[in-house]
Copies of this chain bind each other. A is one copy, B any other.
């Protein structure tokens, strides 16, 4: 029951020169499901990543950070079912063993492989079953494997998430394709969220490193489902350099601007897809905060509103209970906030209504207008703090019976 999100058309997912993907059934946790994905990168590809800030970061995240620091990455291996998190030293051994097995299979070093896991925490990774299924994943490596890979990395996701775009760079067509998975434990600093975006552009390592951070900040780090930051969150940006244009080494010029915009767009669409498919989601909400003194305080207010279970249940009920929004703004932690100056609008794609000003409900506000807006599945809460020029947007979903059901049943 994802909100305005449907399975992508396989024909819309364009191969990225230099990237091949294969999936297999490893039986990591359940039989008869594709739970293993192998991504092979052509020589010369550059890779950058952003990872969870959770102190209990999973073993594969620790290994990814080390391998990325050495550079020259040639493969990614992703399993679902078990997160290999909270698994101590053995978890690291298991992740390294997985990398070594992939390396042997593809004829590259273990340190050229990035491992990713998502699923239940505290369970040991069944590394033998994983390794046993690697040849099957290798056997079906294909340039058009994105659609299958998008499915194989799903956990509680109900819809596969994948986006493609092309953009002209230096007279050549650059293709950008990405896949992602949610669907709970989604919060800034990367949810239980995996995102893999590849392009065939040629980009210096420094620019790629900067771009992956900027794109993460504007996409995966601007969403929340339930406020939980997971142990395994990873966002990887790959540039194979096979599109044939001259390498971009400086963040200037029209080529860079076009590529940057397109990569961020793909990341934002994947991040929004994660929210649209948030556990139990029935509404997609954009929380837009403007007029702040800096972006950080705008994000604080946006997240206070986006995280409030009371706001989220009111949206689920299509109840314009604006008081809950004001209360969340009030406890966002801005000590010198003047609530008599701020304004709040409630909107959907068709309509926008001023609901609060002068410290209370706007005189012009009518509950019918609020109810009309709340009845739709795409909503915007816009808040003007009236104290500066900064702004920030956070995307979230509502909180329904099904969220509880999914998370109470997840392990059973």
Additional A-B contacts beyond A86-B360, A122-B322 (8; CB < 8 A): A54-B330, A57-B330, A85-B323, A86-B322, A120-B321, A121-B326, A228-B328, A316-B404
- Tell me whether A317 and B408 are in contact (CB under 8 A): yes
**CB contact list, A318-343 vs B, under 8 A:** 319, 321-324, 326-332, 334-335, 337, 339-340
Interchain CB contact under 8 A, B229 and A327: yes
Q: Which of A356, A401, A412 has the most CB atoms of chain B within a 10 A radius of its CB?
A: A401
Enumerate chain B residues within 8 angstroms of A334, measured Cβ to Cβ.
55
1/0 contact trace for A215-235 toward B, CB 8 Å?
Answer: 000000000001111110000
**Alpha-carbon gap, A212 to B277, bound state (A):** 46
**A356 CA / B412 CA spacing, docked (Å):** 21
Q: How many copies does the complex hold?
A: 2
* A372 contacts chain B at the CB level, 8 A cutoff: no
Interface of A, secondary structure class, is: loop
Shortest C-beta distance, A73 to chain B (Å), equals 26
A residues contacting B by CB (< 8 A) are 53-57, 83, 85-91, 120-123, 184-185, 187, 189, 226-231, 307-310, 313-314, 316-317, 319, 321-324, 326-332, 334-335, 337, 339-340, 356, 358-361, 399-401, 403-405, 407-412
* Contact across chains for B319 and A411 when beta carbons are under 8 A apart: yes
CB pair B226–A309 under 8 Å, yes or no, is yes
Q: Which 8 A-B pairs have the closest CB atoms?
A: A121-B323, A56-B330, A88-B360, A317-B408, A313-B407, A54-B330, A229-B331, A122-B323
Q: Are B86 and A310 in contact (CB under 8 A)?
A: no
Is B121 a contact of A228 with CB atoms below 8 Å?
no
Q: Distance in Å from the Cβ of A368 to the closest Cβ of chain B? A: 15
CB within 8 A of A331: which of B228, B330, B408, B411?
B228
Q: Give the distance in Å from the alpha carbon of A90 to the alpha carbon of B358 in the complex.
A: 11
Residues of B within 8 A of A83 (CB): 323
Measured between beta carbons, the chain B residues less than 8 angstroms from A121 are: 321-324, 326-327
